[in-house]
Amino acid sequence: MNEQKFFSTRAGKLTIAFIIVMIAFAMIMFGLYNNISIMYTLGFTMIVLSMLYSPIKTHIYDKLKNRKARQINEQRANDKANL
């Protein structure tokens, strides 16, 4: 399997998100053991952002992208009709 290709798929991107969660887990544990609040705060923020990647991509970004593409197509069709 082509590595470059895999990481550009949805499964690949979620794999990256999973790896980030694992790194964040290590950061939280390190922060809790050594009482470094910035470390566990950063770790937790990384978890939330990685988790939110999928719903934001599927239900906001892709939908906006599709809507924009539709609008451009409609605009082009209108321009053609006007010509």
Using the minimum distance from each CB to other proteins, give the nearer residue, 64 or 77: 64
Identify the residue among 23, 34, 51, 81 touching other proteins (CB under 8 A): 51
Size of the site for other proteins (CB under 8 A): 30
Q: Compute the least distance from the CB of residue 29 to other proteins, in Å.
A: 6
Contact between 66 and other proteins by CB under 8 A: the answer reads no
Tell me the H-state helices in 2-60.
3-6, 10-34, 37-56
Burial of 53 (0-12, 13-18, 19+ CB in 10 A): middle
Q: Which stretch binds other proteins (CB under 8 A): 31-39, 61-69, 73-81?
A: 31-39
Cα within 13 Å of Cα(54), Cβ side: 13
